[in-house]
A and B are shown apart, each in its own frame.
Chain A
């Protein structure tokens, strides 16, 4: 009992600096943001009312949800394929998959976003190449729109989607897959009707992580969207730094934080935190 108690004390002491930092750097300033949302420019619920009526704000919210949903579906599907190879492939395949998963973590989000601009812009690699082989005559608009944003965000988020999937695939009992094949099920059928359903918790966990990350994305949409495909985080930035409309920016922030908080609560109902790493 004493050892248990002192272990708990030790853990609390080790975590204290982190908690203190989170309170001072996030929670306390956020309370200030909450206050602005009710007081600027005049006290009251005016800014929240504006949220419900302002067409621009609403279209940005809808676009954000749409982009986040598409990015989630594409990222989780791609991550699933990579994870199957990483967890169940031959030793060589595993090394290659691991490399593909880990390398993106070493490259900054800015570098990656500009990399995509170089690839996707009107005079970028893809358009130049397609024109040179005569496949298209006019360049395709691949960037400064939603498509570019989705490509960039998906690329960034795939590695994050891998870990919950890997954890659920590793805990799967191989004998169940053998059993399915022994009962006459082809490899394809075994994959779809046994393997995929048994990794359900991993799919939910990875989808929620990607969705939550997507909602607050700033750098990638700002660069690849080119101001034409504004998402919520960029809208907050514009309201606070470019137009003196702190109250509205604060109100949007509060709504975003509450929404993300609710999703996180949902996430932890389905998966234990340790399954996510």
Chain B
């Protein structure tokens, strides 16, 4: 139904927005590729929703320019931008049937009655709402309302679909189902999707790229594994999931990346020590660390004592303290955790060189 060529390519250059003295968005430059699924991720008040509203045309940026397929659309009103939008809480027309809601964007575009009927029918089929055509939104479940909102936003084949926390009102099971459905719709339509969420697992699961916001600034953009495994800064590292941070001394470039002293023991990293020298933070995700009886020569490792464990079913979360008092959390198989705890004394924590990365000491 949709030609991939119709998907829009968006370029934001130096976009900023102030509300009075509050800087909601600052100097944002971002390219959104044709047909990509970009997630804007950040805590509330980070500027991600403001940027979405600027893309939709509901908010006028204070500075910067916005281009769609090379055309400057900064001043173009929302109704002429033809961006599909799914709102938090769906914002369906309560006085219109499912059918009329979905037909609305086609009617305002003055499509012929036969074309409206055909396209609405196709869309209803595609989102699985057959049999509910004549119902009012208030007669539908949350998941069904969500589908109507998606159908209404996609039926006029917009170049870009904007989604503002569309799953926040759904329970966990339904959320997973709707996420899968959205991924399928993205593949089928080929449209550019821009999705706002504060849920990092949702962002990692759905997107082709994730843009992480904090305090009105875009901190990092990249593929999910890229931002998860190689965050640029401490905020991104912590926001995307649990992470262990160990103080590192004497960091310097080495043959195969960089090297430094962690609790008086030499450790190696594959990443380059470009931004940091001397004191730094070594960051490693809990699932990349393992428990060993001892660390072999040249292997990355530090000694620690197991303090507590939390049984999580598939794995056990183990809390440890290093000799110099740093707290470390690892996720390990259940039997490993049991034996580490029963010993009650020193174990070694080891990790592969490519899984540790450097963050600047202290700040963001």
Residues of A within 8 A of B (CB): 173, 175-176, 178-187, 189, 193-194, 197-198, 200
Distance in angstroms between the alpha carbons of A182 and B55 in the assembled complex: 11
Whether A189 contacts B87 by the Cβ 8 Å rule is no
Whether B87 contacts A180 by the Cβ 8 Å rule is no
26 contacts between A and B (CB under 8 A): A173-B89, A175-B89, A176-B93, A176-B94, A178-B58, A178-B85, A178-B87, A178-B91, A179-B87, A179-B92, A181-B58, A181-B77, A182-B56, A182-B57, A182-B83, A183-B79, A183-B85, A183-B152, A183-B156, A184-B82, A185-B104, A185-B105, A186-B79, A189-B108, A193-B104, A200-B95
Q: Which residues of A contact B153 (CB under 8 A)?
A: 183
B129 at the interface (CB under 8 A from A): no
Q: Which residues of A contact B275 (CB under 8 A)?
A: none
Other A-B contacts than A178-B87, A183-B153, A184-B105, 8 sampled, CB-CB below 8 A, are: A175-B88, A179-B87, A180-B93, A181-B78, A182-B84, A184-B79, A184-B80, A185-B105
Q: Which residues of A contact B118 (CB under 8 A)?
A: none
Whether A179 contacts B85 by the Cβ 8 Å rule is yes
Whether A179 contacts B91 by the Cβ 8 Å rule is yes
Which of A176, A184, A185 has the most chain B CB atoms closer than 10 A to its own CB? A184
Distance in angstroms between the alpha carbons of A173 and B87 in the assembled complex: 12
Distance in angstroms between the alpha carbons of A182 and B84 in the assembled complex: 7
Q: For chains A and B in complex, what number of residue pairs have CB atoms within 8 angstroms?
A: 67
Whether A181 contacts B79 by the Cβ 8 Å rule is yes
Distance in angstroms between the alpha carbons of A182 and B79 in the assembled complex: 5
Residue of B whose beta carbon sits closest to that of A199 = B95
CB distance from B20 to the nearest CB of A (A): 15
Which of A175, A184, A185, A186 is close to B91, meaning CB atoms less than 8 Å apart? A175
The 6 closest A-B pairs by CB, nearest first: A175-B91, A183-B105, A179-B91, A182-B85, A197-B95, A185-B108
Whether B104 contacts A183 by the Cβ 8 Å rule is yes
Q: Which residues of A contact B81 (CB under 8 A)?
A: 182
Distance in angstroms between the alpha carbons of A200 and B95 in the assembled complex: 9
Distance in angstroms between the alpha carbons of A198 and B91 in the assembled complex: 12
Whether B109 contacts A198 by the Cβ 8 Å rule is no
Distance in angstroms between the alpha carbons of A184 and B105 in the assembled complex: 6
CB distance from B152 to the nearest CB of A (A): 7
